């Protein structure tokens, strides 16, 4: 008897077992895809996990449907890495598989509806909707669910279909279809009929007399062929000859031309690949040598280099070395920093060897990167991508660079696997016996702590490239400015002076405000009511551009109210301010300057960021207003002034990391100023100019910040001293969430005593009509992580056995950074 365990792309606690034949057992290997039946009538694409001879005890193993590959589509290291992720972050292997594999690899069954030919039914026995479906099947042999949706012009069609199946009128059948469509490009050549000198002469003479346009096309084709010595695309021929595609089609129809298709890569590289890397200066060279030395002993090194110290150029040299020894490099970046700026820089050096991978890529583009890697192609030596690129099939990895390693977007929040890309990268590198370089101007406390403990190596770069001074940071006391009437809107006189001067000198300005929209709260000055989201426990944000109120949690929106819904007075006022309001105020203050805004609302679409970033680079914009998107490692040459509109809402955020994050954010935005020769200037407006974090930002004292924050983390038992697992409960019923969370917390307390915090409602306690409640479990350094998780799973299982709790969603978030 032969069996396989497979991973299904759904959250199952265990692998599922199927029965296979002896021949199949000889052919199959872990990592090959098979189509298997699962549940009542679904077919899934699964991955072979293990091949063995033990029948399952709890159920009869079904047979597999079909084998989908000749060779594995994932590597052994990948599987090991997935296992680690699933274990460490407490999720199923199927969830990791779902996150890792391009959708196009996960064939799905599609329901095919056909008529039951054995049954005769009178039209009068059918209801209206039923008749429409039945009639459609008189004209075609089968329909898909989507077809029925358009025939009936409504979304809920399953009840109707089910009724018809029960009446025996319809048959249902599940069919697999391949989602990946290779991209085919149309080419043309002269038809074989005319290849001989003689025939060609005849042809040209014939065209000469009548069809001049067609003749033009043929001659252009010859010229192109002669000059490029390569296949000629139809699109190219159209462009060069100026003829319409109809003319080319006519030539194809007349068998004068012949068309053919070639499969091409969707992802075409753009850079030259022939630009020489920059020569490192002494400080950079020194850092480079140190990194190399440390790598001889340690797997991980932290490169702590102030903004604009030239870290990227050091990465380039390290990459170069890896390529020379035939290894692959993974260059991880926060999603948002993946702009053409950096990609272009790398492609200039490494050309076609660079492959880019991020979530804005289409499914087909992802498949191509995946396949190139699986084939260890030369097109995939350097993978630059956001966190999920860590899950690709690396063959021969030598180095992982985690740039901006402090970025919180490296942690996946939802759905599972809730992994931290930096930590998962270190594990991946270890599997490949590769090295990991973490880079940041403002390292996370975790990484700096690990470095200070000797677990990681540490290399520091304290000067900017070219010895440009760190920007001069000035704190402006808002309370004082308001009292002395030195404010225009949200701009202090100091900020206005600096903006004016910078503009006069012809430099650019960045203004940072960590909220989008016009105003986060609308309040009635008569009765104090402010409009709330009907689905979430938050105030609606006013967006002036659309004259709308919007919820930033669920997307709910409504037209701006004319009067207060509670008291009816038209005394609605705005409180607080977002990027939209700042943009408007700047335009009024500097009417002849070009102002743009960069936030979630202005950067939608595949090239959203790029457009704004490019025009800022081209100096088509004088003043750029934006949210934290502006902080992500962008390199602008002509920015001299950065204004932080209000530091206080960063500092007051209710989270144990708020101070660390505020430091990072402000140091990073400030770092956009004065990157080339001139010293930059930063104005931070705040009600708390004496706040320690602001003092540390303005004196560039990362180490003081680190020491002080670490002290708090020791005292209050937070990471990196303790580990955290956050357990979130979600349900639409308020009471049930309370009961469930209380039950769970009580059980946890029996084991973990005072290290269990909560349950507590988060600041936003209801999102999309679901109530949320959190428990925080603190895990001391010496406590075994695996035993802790075992204990949680035990509680989880008893929890799930309680009928009332089964509908409550429980989300485990390990290392909730
Ligand atoms: P970081 O990544 O540390 O913020 P970058 O690598 O972006 O810094 O470097 C800052 C600026 O200095 C960039 O414009 C870069 O082109 C330039 N630069 C850095 N190193 C060199 C070098 N060795 N030679 C010439 N220019 C350099
Ligand atoms: Zn909402």
pLDDT, one tens digit per residue, over 227-254 is 776 778 888 888 888 888 888 888 888 8
Question: Are β-strands 766-767 and 770-779 bridged in parallel, bridged antiparallel, or unpaired?
Answer: antiparallel
Q: Is residue 111 within 8 Å of 145, Cβ to Cβ? A: yes
Question: Which has more confidence, 664 or 209?
Answer: 664
**Ligand 1 contacts CB of residue 280 (under 6 A):** yes
**Ligand 1 contacts CB of residue 631 (under 6 A):** no
d(CA 439, CA 315): 9
**Ligand 1 contacts CB of residue 339 (under 6 A):** no
**Ligand 1 contacts CB of residue 78 (under 6 A):** no
Question: Six-digit token pair at 35?
Answer: 């189509």
**Ligand 1 contacts CB of residue 523 (under 6 A):** no
Closest CA to 460 of 693, 290, 674: 290
- Please state, as a whole number, how many other Cβ atoms lie within 10 Å of the Cβ of residue 677: 9
Output the 3-class SS for 469-531: CCCEEEEEEHHHHHHCCCEECCEEHHHHHHHHHHHHCCCEEEEECCCCCCECEEEECCCCCCC
**Ligand 1 contacts CB of residue 305 (under 6 A):** yes
The predicted structure's pLDDT at residue 90: 95
* 502 Cα–ligand 2 center, Å: 40
* 196 Cα–ligand 1 center, Å: 59
The predicted structure's pLDDT at residue 449: 97
Q: Is residue 681 within 8 Å of 471, Cβ to Cβ? A: yes
Report CA torsion sign: 266, 270, 275, 279: negative
Cα radius of gyration (the chain): 31
Indicate which residue's Cα is closest to atom 25 of ligand 1: 278
Domains of the chain (ranges plus CATH)?
Answer: 109-177 (1.10.10), 192-255 (no CATH), 282-464 (3.40.50.300), 472-515+583-712 (3.40.50.300), 519-576 (no CATH), 723-814 (3.30.70.600)
The predicted structure's pLDDT at residue 296: 96
Taking the CA of 312 as reference, the closest ligand is 1
* 311 Cα–ligand 1 center, Å: 7
**Ligand 1 contacts CB of residue 670 (under 6 A):** no
- Please state, as a whole number, how many other Cβ atoms lie within 10 Å of the Cβ of residue 23: 9
Taking the CA of 555 as reference, the closest ligand is 2
Residue 279 Cα: closest atom of ligand 1 = 23
The predicted structure's pLDDT at residue 20: 92
246-260, 334-348, 700-714: lowest mean pLDDT where? 334-348
The predicted structure's pLDDT at residue 179: 54
Pocket probe for ligand 1: among 311, 345, 465, 669, the residue whose CB has the most ligand atoms within 8 Å is 465
d(CA 651, CA 653): 6
Q: How confident is the model at residue 268 (pLDDT cuts 50, 70, 90)?
A: low
Q: Is residue 768 within 8 Å of 533, Cβ to Cβ? A: no
Residue 273 has pLDDT above 90, yes or no: no
**Ligand 1 contacts CB of residue 309 (under 6 A):** yes
Question: pLDDT over 90 for what percent of the chain?
Answer: 54
Question: Which has more confidence, 203 or 517?
Answer: 517
Taking the CA of 341 as reference, the closest ligand is 1
Residue 660 has pLDDT above 80, yes or no: yes
For range 741-756, the mean pLDDT: 96
d(CA 63, CA 4): 10
Indicate which residue's Cα is closest to atom 17 of ligand 1: 310
Helix, strand, coil fractions of the chain, as percent rounded to 5: 40, 25, 35
**Ligand 1 contacts CB of residue 307 (under 6 A):** yes
Closest CA to 335 of 309, 361, 316: 361
Question: Six-digit token pair at 96?
Answer: 């990791």
Question: Six-digit token pair at 217?
Answer: 């096309």
Q: Is residue 247 within 8 Å of 324, Cβ to Cβ? A: no
Residue 312 Cα: closest atom of ligand 1 = 6
For range 670-697, the mean pLDDT: 91
DSSP tag of 392: S
**Ligand 1 contacts CB of residue 440 (under 6 A):** no
Closest CA to 322 of 382, 278, 272: 382
Residue 367 has pLDDT above 80, yes or no: yes
Strands (E), 752-791: 756-760, 766-767, 770-779
d(CA 558, CA 531): 11
Pocket probe for ligand 1: among 310, 343, 345, 639, the residue whose CB has the most ligand atoms within 8 Å is 310
d(CA 243, CA 227): 20
pLDDT in tens, 47-77: 999 999 999 998 899 998 878 888 999 999 9
Q: Is residue 36 within 8 Å of 6, Cβ to Cβ? A: yes
**Ligand 1 contacts CB of residue 345 (under 6 A):** no
d(CA 236, CA 234): 5
Pocket probe for ligand 1: among 282, 283, 286, 308, the residue whose CB has the most ligand atoms within 8 Å is 308
Taking the CA of 401 as reference, the closest ligand is 1
**Whether residue 467 has a cis bond before it, omega within 30° of 0:** no
- CA 228 remoteness from chain centre: 39
d(CA 498, CA 500): 5
For range 423-452, the mean pLDDT: 97
Residue 281 Cα: closest atom of ligand 1 = 23
The predicted structure's pLDDT at residue 363: 67
* 323 Cα–ligand 1 center, Å: 21
Question: pLDDT over 70 for what percent of the chain?
Answer: 94
257-266, 414-423, 441-450, 527-536: lowest mean pLDDT where? 257-266
């Amino acid at each position: 008897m032969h069996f396989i365990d497979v991973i299904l792309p759904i959250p199952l606690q265990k692998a599922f077992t199927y029965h296979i034949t002896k021949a199949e057992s000889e052919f199959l290997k872990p990592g090959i895809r098979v189509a298997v039946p699962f549940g009542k009538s679904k077919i899934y694409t699964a991955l072979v996990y293990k091949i063995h001879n033990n029948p399952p005890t709890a159920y009869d193993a079904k047979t597999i449907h079909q084998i989908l590959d000749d060779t594995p589509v994932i590597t052994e290291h990948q599987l090991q890495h997935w296992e680690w992720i699933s274990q460490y972050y407490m999720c199923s292997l199927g969830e990791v598989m779902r996150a890792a594999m391009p959708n196009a690899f996960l064939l799905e069954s599609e329901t095919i509806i056909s008529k039951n030919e054995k049954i005769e039914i009178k039209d009068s026995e059918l209801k209206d909707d039923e008749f429409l479906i039945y009639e459609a099947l008189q004209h075609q042999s089968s329909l898909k669910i989507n077809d029925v949706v358009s025939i009936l012009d409504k979304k809920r069609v399953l009840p109707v279909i089910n009724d018809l199946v029960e009446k025996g009128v319809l048959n249902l059948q599940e069919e697999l279809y391949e989602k990946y469509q290779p991209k085919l490009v149309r080419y043309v050549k002269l038809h074989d009929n005319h290849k001989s000198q003689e025939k060609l002469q005849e042809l040209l003479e014939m065209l000469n007399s009548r069809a001049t346009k067609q003749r033009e096309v043929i001659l252009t084709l010859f010229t192109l062929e002669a000059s490029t010595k390569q296949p000629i695309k139809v699109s190219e021929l159209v462009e060069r000859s100026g003829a319409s595609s109809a003319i080319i089609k006519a030539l194809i129809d007349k068998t004068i031309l012949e068309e053919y298709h070639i499969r091409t890569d969707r992802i075409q590289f753009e850079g030259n690949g022939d630009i020489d890397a920059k020569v490192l200066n002494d400080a950079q060279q020194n850092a480079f040598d140190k990194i190399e030395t440390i790598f001889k002993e340690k797997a991980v090194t932290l490169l702590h280099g102030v903004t604009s110290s030239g870290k990227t150029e050091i990465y380039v040299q390290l990459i170069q070395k890896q390529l020379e020894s035939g290894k692959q490099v993974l260059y991880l970046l926060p999603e948002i920093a993946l702009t053409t700026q950096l990609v272009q820089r790398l492609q200039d050096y490494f050309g076609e060897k660079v492959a880019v991978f991020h979530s804005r890529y289409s499914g087909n583009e992802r498949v191509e990167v995946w396949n190139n890697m699986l084939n260890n192609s030369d097109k995939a030596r350097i993978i630059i991508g956001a966190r999920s690129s860590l899950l690709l099939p690396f063959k021969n990895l030598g180095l992982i660079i985690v740039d901006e390693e402090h970025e919180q977007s490296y942690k996946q929040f939802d759905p599972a696997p809730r992994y931290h890309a930096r930590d998962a990268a270190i594990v991946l590198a270890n599997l490949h016996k590769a090295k990991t370089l973490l880079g940041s101007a403002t390292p996370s406390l975790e990484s700096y702590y690990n470095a200070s403990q000797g677990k990681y190596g540490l290399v520091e770069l304290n000067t900017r490239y070219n010895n440009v001074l760190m920007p001069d940071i000035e704190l402006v006391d808002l309370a004082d400015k308001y009292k002395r009437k030195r404010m225009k809107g949200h701009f202090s006189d100091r900020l206005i002076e600096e903006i004016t001067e910078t503009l006069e000198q012809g430099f650019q300005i960045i203004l940072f405000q960590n909220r989008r929209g016009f105003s986060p709260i609308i309040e009635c000055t008569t009765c104090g009511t402010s409009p709330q989201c009907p689905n979430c426990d938050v105030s609606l944000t006013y967006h002036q551009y659309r004259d709308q109120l919007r919820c930033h949690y669920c997307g709910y929106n409504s037209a701006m109210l004319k009067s207060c819904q509670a008291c009816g007075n038209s005394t609605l006022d705005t409180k607080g301010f977002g990027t939209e309001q700042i943009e408007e105020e700047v335009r009024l203050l500097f009417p002849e300057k070009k102002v743009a805004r960069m936030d979630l609302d202005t950067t939608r679409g595949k090239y959203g960021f790029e457009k704004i970033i490019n025009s800022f680079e081209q100096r088509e914009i004088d003043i750029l207003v934006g949210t934290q998107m502006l902080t992500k490692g962008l390199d602008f040459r002509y920015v001299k002034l950065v204004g932080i509109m209000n530091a206080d809402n960063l500092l007051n955020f209710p989270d144990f990391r708020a101070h660390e994050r505020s430091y990072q954010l402000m140091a990073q935005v400030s770092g956009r100023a004065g990157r080339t020769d001139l010293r930059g200037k930063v104005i931070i407006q705040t009600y708390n100019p004496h706040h320690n974090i602001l003092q540390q930002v303005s004196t560039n004292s990362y180490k003081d910040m680190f020491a002080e924050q670490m002290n708090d983390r020791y005292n209050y038992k937070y990471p990196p001293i303790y580990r955290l697992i956050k357990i979130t409960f979600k349900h639409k019923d308020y009471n049930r969430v309370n009961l469930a969370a209380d039950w769970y917390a009580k059980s946890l307390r029996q084991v973990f005593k005072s290290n269990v915090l909560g349950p507590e409602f988060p600041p936003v306690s209801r999102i999309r009509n679901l109530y949320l409640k959190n428990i925080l479990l603190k895990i001391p350094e010496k406590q075994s992580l695996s035993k802790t998780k075992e204990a949680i799973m035990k509680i989880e299982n008893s929890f799930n056995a309680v009928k009332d709790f089964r509908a409550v969603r429980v989300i485990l978030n390990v290392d909730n950074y």
